[in-house]
Structure 1
Amino acid sequence: MTNKVYQVPYGTKDILPGQMKTRRSVEDAIIRVFDKWGYDEVKTPDFEYVDTFGASGAKGDFRFFDRSNNLLVLRNDMTAPIARLTATRLQGGEKIKRLCYLANLYRYEEIQAGRQCEFEQAGVEMLGASGAAADAEVIVLAAAAMKAAGVERFGISLGHVDFINGLAEEAGFDAAQLRELKACLRRHDAVAMQELADSMENIRPEIKQLFADFLFLQGGPELLERIGQVVTQEKCLSALDNLRRIYALVEAYGAAEYLSFDLGLYRSLDYYTGMLFEIYLPELGYPVTGGGRYDKMMQSFGMDCPATGFALGVDRILLALERTGAVNNERGWDAFVGWSEGKLPEAIAKATALRSEGRSVKLATEAMELTEAAKAMKDYCCSSLVYVE
């Protein structure tokens, strides 16, 4: 039987010294960007009452009972805890609340590159703001966070839940058919989409073709104009108009080069009510960032409050940076302070002075000759040697 003392649980991992230094620099860069955009950092518990996540739709969570027999869950998403925090602790103050976070999440996953049961996200939630201006802000902020983390090549796919819902209404779908449609979109199942289109009767050929092409409705502003000439359902037309307004504002920010439309985009969480987006990197075959508008979630916490936001996968960002060679996980310090016999107090004073100047310092723990100190400096990955004799 395998001795589990020497192992980590399934879906978790150790982060080694050089990797942790790189991770911390990426985390700090992302949080600094959020702060510059006016977002306040908050922290919620790692576990919550299971009812907190009743509306999130997340699957594969880790549940357990406390000593009072309350059912708890390790958080698998940050939107619901932020909504709870806002409803219970932040009812006063600013009408529009901009909150950000850096948090570990837990969700049972089939392990593969970039996907673990324990993972880290950084994200923002803007609560109390409706309309294209708020949506454009969080999209551009997501792009700014990517660049701050060191990622330069990426693309943002933008879609809208109401375009999907509206097209389903035009086709006369019932609730079961709508669920199947969204499941096909989540799976990117082109064969199933074609079969769905083939089974349709008493529907305009143009709409039938849209269903067959749903997973390929991607492009720039010209796509919206072309599709707008085909659909007649009011919800679809309103969604296209909303996407146009968001695009225009992203363009005003100077970030439209990253943006394209994907009208078949559908995310796994069920609380989205409007625009939704994902960010992709050429090094990875899955999104590293995702978000959108969720105007109804706060109702579960007794508030009628529009909201929009996104979450960025820190582990996935780091994986992409490693694959491109953009990060260096080697450890390094500014100085090594060695000392000869009887000179430890002076060496302590010298190390303290260097640290007060903002330099990182390793101090020898025993007396040594100068040659030994020079070797230790290299072994400890220090840039310079200070020897006290």
Structure 2
Amino acid sequence: MYSKLISDEHEKYEQIIDTISKRFTTYGYKRIKTSAFEQYDLYSKVKSSINQLEMIKVIDYTGEVLVLRPDVTIPVTQELAHTIGNLADELRYYYVQEVFRQPFEQNEKIGRTQAGIEYFCESSPEADAEVIALACHTMKDLGFANIKIEIGHAGFFNELIRNLPLKSRQISQLKTLIQAKNVVEIGPFVKNLDIDEAVKQAIEQIPFLYGNPADVTEKAKRIALTSEMQDTLDYLMDVYSILKMYGLEQYLVVDLGLINHMDYYSGVIFQGYVGRLGKPVLMGGRYDQLGNEFGATLPAIGFACEIDSLVKVATDSDFASSSLIDVQIVYEKEQLELAIQIANELRDQSMKVLSKSVDIGQPDSRLSAYTVYLKQEGHVLQEDDDRISFTNLEELLRLLDGLKGVS
């Protein structure tokens, strides 16, 4: 039983990755792979990076400090900066690989599989909407009905606090309170800040700027204190209008309190939820300035899915049909050669086939769409309760083609 549970979980894992990869390719993305080990300096010297306390560090034989890959976006951007410099034509890449971070919660794993895309392109509502649509379509492909994509914009909050006399520690505390929508503590926190009263009121309103995109935008315009903040809201509505053309409006909400922990995001940011899982299964956004850290202009937007979270929330029924064996072959010893011929032919047609002798035991019809019995007195193809006799390989293939055509 334990081995079956492991097998079922792995089967679901592989099917989710296969489904995601297929969807990514329909949008024109090509698969890439980055090194499992990166130089620590790559992350320690980049201003916009992940928490260095989360990095898994190792030392190589020369004494150089390396880190197990904690992120994919940064090394991909660095590689492009070194190979092509400034962006001339758009580039689309996707990846499926492990990232490694030190967990701060019990039962969290160090290594987690991510599947994501990196779309290097000029900033535009069309490009950003397409990436969000891809994220939504990916979740729909996986069979999730209760999908929610929260969309925000890093520029709205950043512009609000841009000229405030705040220390980095205060900004970090404020971000944490807003992200948690901790309205109880935000008020007292901003009350003690030496900032304009209008700014205080605007900050206190941010956690409430969540919900229907049109309604949220109207509320946000009342506290938009600069033309740049107004432009950000107009941009978000342009993105939303395009997503409505994709027919995805029922999955979308705007959250102007969405502040991603990846500080390199500079424009649209978003995260996706499915099922009853209380944390996002995908996160992404636009990072137009990251290439500047490596002396290049590489505007881009991307997102990553947490495969382990998707496996947890996906029900067995979502993948039961695709995990079935196509054909089981049960043969008497004298029919071994025919059993091998049939199995070879069906596998060449990309069908999943199990073959075993009657001496081992009877097949479980629940595991396969069809069962083939090869016996001395005659051969039978069974589908559910229907049994059809056949005499040779060619006749069996015609029967299978006919049955698959009907189904």
| TM-score bracket relative to the smaller structure | 0.7 to 0.9
> 3-state DSSP class of the match of 2:216?
helix
Q: Kindly provide the amino acid, as one letter, of the partner of residue 199 in structure 2.
A: I
> 3-state DSSP class of the match of 2:175?
helix
The answer to which of 158-167 and 229-238 deviates more is 229-238
Match of 2:80 in 1: 86
In the alignment, structure 1 residue 303 sits paired with structure 2 residue 296: yes
Match of 1:153 in 2: 146
Q: CA separation of 1:189/1:116 partners in 2, compared to 1, >3 Å: closer, same or farther?
A: farther
Q: CA separation of 1:259/1:87 partners in 2, compared to 1, >3 Å: closer, same or farther?
A: same
Shift of 1:292: 0.7
Q: Kindly provide the amino acid, as one letter, of the partner of residue 124 in structure 2.
A: G
In the alignment, structure 1 residue 52 sits paired with structure 2 residue 46: no
Q: CA separation of 1:177/1:212 partners in 2, compared to 1, >3 Å: closer, same or farther?
A: same
Q: CA separation of 1:145/1:195 partners in 2, compared to 1, >3 Å: closer, same or farther?
A: same
Match of 1:99 in 2: 93
Q: RMSD of the TM alignment (CA)?
A: 2.8
Question: How many residues get paired?
Answer: 367
Show CA shifts across 1:220-252 (max 9, x none).
Answer: 212212221332223322322221222222222
Match of 1:386 in 2: 373
Match of 1:228 in 2: 221
| TM-score, length basis structure 1 | 0.84
Q: CA separation of 1:388/1:42 partners in 2, compared to 1, >3 Å: closer, same or farther?
A: farther
- Asked if 2 retains the 8 angstrom alpha-carbon contact of 1:39 and 1:98, the reply is yes
Q: How does 1:266-305 map to 2 (within 5 A)?
A: 266-305=259-298
> 3-state DSSP class of the match of 1:326?
helix
State the identity as a percent.
Answer: 27
* Correspondence for 2:7 among 3, 17, 28: 17
Q: CA separation of 1:208/1:92 partners in 2, compared to 1, >3 Å: closer, same or farther?
A: closer
The answer to which of 135-144 and 341-350 deviates more is 341-350
Match of 1:173 in 2: 166
The answer to which of 207-216 and 127-136 deviates more is 207-216
* Correspondence for 1:328 among 311, 320, 326: 320
Q: Kindly provide the amino acid, as one letter, of the partner of residue 38 in structure 1.
A: G
Shift of 1:163: 1.1
Shift of 1:152: 2.1
Q: Kindly provide the amino acid, as one letter, of the partner of residue 35 in structure 2.
A: P
> 3-state DSSP class of the match of 1:354?
helix
Shift of 1:202: 5.7
Whole-Å separation in 1 of the counterparts to 2:9 and 2:83: 36
In the alignment, structure 1 residue 241 sits paired with structure 2 residue 234: yes
Whole-Å separation in 2 of the counterparts to 1:303 and 1:313: 29
Q: Kindly provide the amino acid, as one letter, of the partner of residue 378 in structure 1.
A: D
Q: How does 1:88-237 map to 2 (within 5 A)?
A: 88-89=82-83, 95-111=89-105, 115-169=108-162, 172-200=165-193, 203-204=196-197, 206-219=198-211, 220-237=213-230
Shift of 1:52: 2.9
> 3-state DSSP class of the match of 2:364?
helix
- Asked if 1 retains the 8 angstrom alpha-carbon contact of 2:116 and 2:304, the reply is yes
Match of 2:346 in 1: 354
Q: Kindly provide the amino acid, as one letter, of the partner of residue 387 in structure 1.
A: L
Unmatched 5+ residue regions in structure 1? 1-13
Shift of 1:368: 4.5
Unmatched 5+ residue regions in structure 2? 377-407
Q: Kindly provide the amino acid, as one letter, of the partner of residue 337 in structure 1.
A: I
Shift of 1:190: 3.2
Match of 1:10 in 2: none
